[in-house]
């Protein structure tokens, strides 16, 4: 995969998506990580990463390695996702997600999002961080 952003052929930020939909799109993609191509799920997560998040974690090959490390690997090909309510305040949102892996183990993550207010991503909800709890 090239270092393009956004990665073409995958869902990408759109002002029509609310914060909960942005998390759901990423979870659905990560649950079927290699559909429609290898690491497409990680590519969706990269597409929805905020510019600051991408600066800290990118380019894509570095982002992919980070998601494959033990802290985030349970997100890949998980079999169940239980989402908590979205806690929203103005242009910030947070959502806790508990994922169950194929081995039956559960891991909880906190997604932190913000809505952009300028530039080409104006009005789009993007992921600032995902923290394993």
pLDDT of the residue at 119: 92
Q: How far is residue 83 from each of residues 6, 21, 65, measured CA to CA in Å?
A: 26, 11, 25
Q: What is the DSSP letter of 24?
A: H
The answer to whether position 14 is within a domain reads no
Tally the domains of the chain. Answer: 1
The answer to whether position 68 is within a domain reads yes
The answer to whether position 41 is within a domain reads yes
* CA quadruple 50, 52, 55, 56: dihedral, nearest 10: -110
Binning pLDDT at 50, 70 and 90, where does residue 1 land? very low
The answer to whether position 12 is within a domain reads no
Any idea what the CATH number is for the domain that residue 108 is in? 3.10.450.50
**How large is the average pLDDT for residues 102-108?**
94
Q: Of how many residues is the chain composed?
A: 133
The answer to whether position 4 is within a domain reads no
Condensed to tens digits (0 to 9), the pLDDT of residues 63-72 reads: 999 999 999 9
User: In the numeric block, which tokens belong to residue 42?
Assistant: 């990680």
The answer to whether position 25 is within a domain reads yes
Is 3 a residue whose pLDDT tops 70? no
Is 4 a residue whose pLDDT tops 90? no
The answer to whether position 11 is within a domain reads no
Range of the domain at 27: 19-132
Provide the whole-model pTM: 0.96
The answer to whether position 62 is within a domain reads yes
pLDDT of the residue at 24: 98
pLDDT of the residue at 2: 47
Binning pLDDT at 50, 70 and 90, where does residue 26 land? very high
Query: ω into residue 129 within 30 of 0, thus cis?
Result: no
**How large is the average pLDDT for residues 101-125?**
96
């Amino acid at each position: 995969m090239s270092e393009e952003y956004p990665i073409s052929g995958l869902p990408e930020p759109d002002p029509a998506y609310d914060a909960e939909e942005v998390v759901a799109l990423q979870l659905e993609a990560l649950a079927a990580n290699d559909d429609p191509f290898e690491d497409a799920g990680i590519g969706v997560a990269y597409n929805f990463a905020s510019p600051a998040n991408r600066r800290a974690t990118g380019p894509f090959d570095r982002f992919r390695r980070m998601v494959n490390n033990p802290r985030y690997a349970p997100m890949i090909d998980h079999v169940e996702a239980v989402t908590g309510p979205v806690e929203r305040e103005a242009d910030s949102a947070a959502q806790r997600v508990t994922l169950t892996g194929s081995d039956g183990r559960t891991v909880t993550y906190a997604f932190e999002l913000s809505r952009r207010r300028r530039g080409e991503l104006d009005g789009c909800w993007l992921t600032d961080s995902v923290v394993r709890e």
